[in-house]
């Protein structure tokens, strides 16, 4: 295994020879270790493991099932292993996500910036949601792309004045809520993993949930109905993860970004 596996095993008091890789881990190495008591723990590499640990704790305090943080040091995030079987429970997720989104913050953003690979999430706090989403999420993410991509993103300011709320409820967000970050067990939510938390409009998490698929209809029976105009807002909120994928994984996501920008008429 890797140097990371050796460091993780030392932190967990485990045998690195018994480590196995977990599926996924597009940006950071993730392994499972056998512990001395016969159990298992998960070790994840990352550029800011203490920040991720704090996010997991924040979601846990908001009533969301998350892995327990065992340690976060030396570039290793050590977590309890969550048993999961892939059997979804959309009503359970809807109820728990609604509860977490009901936890209010004082301003949009977070107490520190975060990143996906080389994509920085600028989290400076503000009370202007439209500006936060446009400048700190979209313009900053599109800037390294330059050219027509950046020009079209910069043209979105007046569009957002019409379709985004200026001051939606300041909700605690997971920040990267796609299906791969949801663990299920026996038709219930087992845990949410790999957060990129900040405070923002709750519909951001829902847009990400719809980026690569669609939750079961029963999800909204427990989450609750959305406010009118959500269809246009969803395109605006899907645009950020689409740009992130374009930056990280290349031109295969150009069509997705273009479609969303066209839908927003820029």
CATH class of 3-80: alpha beta
- In tens, the pLDDT along 223-245 reads 999 999 999 999 999 999 999 99
Give domain limits for the chain.
3-80, 90-263
Look at residue 24 and tell me whether its pLDDT is greater than 80. Answer: no
Looking at residue 220, what is its pLDDT? 96
pLDDT digits (tens, 9 = 90+) for 185-213: 999 999 999 999 999 999 999 999 999 98
Is the pTM above the cut of 0.85? yes
Which positions are catalytic? 176
Sheet holding 30-34, edge to edge: 20-21, 30-34, 40-45, 76-80, 69-73
Task: Return all residues near 98 (Cβ < 8 A) that are at least 6 apart.
Answer: 222, 223, 224
Share of the chain above pLDDT 70, in %: 98
What would the two tokens of residue 144 be?
């390294």
Cα separations in angstroms, 97 against 103, 166, 192, 209, 247: 10, 23, 10, 11, 28
Q: How far apart are CA 136 and CA 132, in angstroms?
A: 5
Burial class (CB in 10 A: 0-12, 13-18, 19+), 115: middle
CATH fold of the domain at 90-263: Aminoglycoside 3'-phosphotransferase; Chain: A, domain 2 (3.90.1200)
């Amino acid at each position: 295994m890797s140097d990371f596996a050796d460091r993780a095993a030392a932190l967990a008091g485990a045998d690195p020879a018994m480590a196995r890789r977990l599926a996924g881990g597009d940006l950071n190495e993730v392994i499972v270790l056998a512990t001395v008591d016969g159990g298992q723990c998960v070790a994840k590499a990352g550029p800011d493991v203490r920040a991720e640990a704090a996010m997991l704790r924040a979601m846990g305090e908001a009533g969301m099932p998350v892995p327990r943080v065992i340690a976060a040091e030396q570039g290793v995030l050590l977590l309890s292993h969550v048993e999961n079987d892939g059997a979804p429970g959309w009503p359970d997720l809807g109820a728990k996500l609604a509860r977490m989104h009901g936890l209010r913050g004082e301003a949009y953003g977070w107490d520190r910036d975060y990143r996906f690979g080389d994509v920085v999430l600028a989290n400076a706090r503000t009370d202007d949601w439209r500006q936060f989403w446009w400048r700190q999420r979209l313009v900053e993410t599109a800037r390294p792309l330059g050219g027509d991509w950046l020009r079209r993103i910069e043209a979105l300011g007046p569009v957002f004045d019409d379709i985004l709320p200026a001051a939606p409820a300041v909700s605690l967000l997971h920040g990267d809520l796609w299906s791969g970050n949801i663990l299920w067990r026996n038709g219930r939510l087992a845990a949410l993993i790999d957060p990129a938390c900040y405070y923002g409009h709750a519909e951001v998490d829902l847009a990400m949930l719809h980026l690569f698929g669609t939750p079961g209809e029963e999800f909204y029976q427990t989450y609750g109905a959305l406010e009118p105009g959500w269809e246009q807002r969803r395109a605006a909120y899907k645009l950020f993860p689409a740009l992130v994928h374009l930056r990280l994984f290349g031109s295969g996501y150009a069509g997705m970004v273009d479609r969303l920008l066209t839908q927003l008429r820029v």
